[in-house]
Amino acid sequence: MISKKKATAMMLGLTMGISGTALAAPANDGADINARIAALEAQQQQLAQQLNALKKENAKLKQAGKIAKSNKAAITNLKDAQNRITINGFGRLAWDNDNMKSYGNRNDFRRTYLDLEGKYKINDRWNANFQAETVQHYAKYVTAEGGSQFYHPKDADHKYDNEHGTIQRVWLEGSLGKVNVDAGRRWRFLGYNFAYFGNESDGVVLSTDVPKSNLTAKAFYLTPTDRGYDFSLGGVGLEGRVGHGLEMRVAYGKLNVGKNERLGVNYYDQATSKNPNYNAATHVNHVGKTANGDDVYAPNLTNTVGSNAFLIGAMWNPVKNIFLLGDYVRTNRKSNTITEYSAGGGSYNKTYDGKNTYVVQLNYRWPDLNSPGSFQLYTRYFNYPENENDLVGVFGDKQDGAFHAGNKGWAFGFKYVPIKNVEWDTMYLTADAFDTTYGHKLNKYKHNFLRTRVDFHF
DSSP string, 344-385: TSSEEEEEE---EEEEEEEEES---TTSTT-EEEEEEEEE--
CATH ID of 87-263+302-457, from 3.40.50.2300, 1.10.357.10, 3.30.360.10, 2.40.160.10: 2.40.160.10
Return the pLDDT at 2: 46
Query: Which positions ≥6 away from 357 have C-beta within 8 Å?
Result: 195, 327, 328, 329, 330, 383, 384, 385, 392, 393, 396
Closest CA to 40 of 11, 16, 5, 8: 5
Identity of the residue numbered 171:
W
Return the pLDDT at 166: 84
For 344-398, the pLDDT digits (tens) are: 889 999 999 999 999 999 999 999 999 999 999 999 999 999 999 999 999 999 9
Return the pLDDT at 119: 96
**Confidence at 280, pLDDT banded by 50, 70, 90:** confident
pLDDT at 309 over 50: yes
Q: What gap in Å lies between CA 42 and CA 154, rounded to an integer? A: 94
Return the pLDDT at 78: 76
For helices 29-84 and 4-18, angle between their N-to-C axes, nearest 10 degrees: 140
Q: Which residue has the higher pLDDT, 302 or 16?
A: 302
Q: What gap in Å lies between CA 61 and CA 11, rounded to an integer? A: 48
Q: 86-102: b or e for each residue (b if 16 or more CB lie within 10 Å)?
A: eeebbebebbbebebbb
| Residues of the chain above pLDDT 70, percent | 89
For residues 324-351, average pLDDT: 95
For residues 263-287, average pLDDT: 88
Query: Which positions ≥6 away from 375 have C-beta within 8 Å?
Result: 365, 367, 414, 415, 416, 417
Return the pLDDT at 13: 43
Long-range contacts of 399-406 (CB under 8 A, 24+ apart): 399/194, 400/94, 400/109, 400/451, 401/96, 401/98, 401/104, 401/108, 401/109, 402/427, 402/429, 402/449, 402/451, 403/359, 403/429, 404/100, 404/102, 404/433, 404/447, 406/433, 406/434, 406/436
For 94-116, the pLDDT digits (tens) are: 999 999 999 888 988 999 999 99
For residues 292-307, average pLDDT: 93
Give me the sign of the Cα torsion angle 171, 173, 174, 178.
positive
For residues 12-20, average pLDDT: 41
**H or E element in which residue 54 lies:** helix 29-84
For residues 243-251, average pLDDT: 96
Return the pLDDT at 6: 45
**Confidence at 23, pLDDT banded by 50, 70, 90:** very low
Domain with CATH 2.40.160.10 in the chain: 87-263+302-457
pLDDT at 11 over 70: no
Q: Phi/psi at 365 (nearest 5 deg)? A: 70, 175
**Confidence at 290, pLDDT banded by 50, 70, 90:** confident
Return the pLDDT at 35: 83
How many CA atoms within 13 Å lie on the side-chain side of 83? 8
Please indicate, yes or no, whether the overall pTM of this predicted structure exceeds 0.85. Answer: no
Q: What gap in Å lies between CA 73 and CA 123, rounded to an integer? A: 20
Q: Which residue has the higher pLDDT, 81 or 337?
A: 337
For 143-177, the pLDDT digits (tens) are: 887 765 444 444 444 444 556 668 999 999 999 99
On whether the CB atoms of residues 393 and 429 are closer than 8 A, the answer is no
For 192-236, the pLDDT digits (tens) are: 999 999 999 999 999 999 999 999 999 999 999 999 999 999 999
Q: What gap in Å lies between CA 73 and CA 241, rounded to an integer? A: 46
On whether the CB atoms of residues 431 and 444 are closer than 8 A, the answer is no
**Confidence at 418, pLDDT banded by 50, 70, 90:** very high
419 to 92, 93, 113, 424, 425: CA distances (angstroms) = 15, 16, 20, 10, 13
Pairing of strands 246-255, 308-316: antiparallel
Return the pLDDT at 154: 45
For residues 184-190, average pLDDT: 98
Q: What is the mean pLDDT of the chain?
A: 89
**Confidence at 30, pLDDT banded by 50, 70, 90:** low
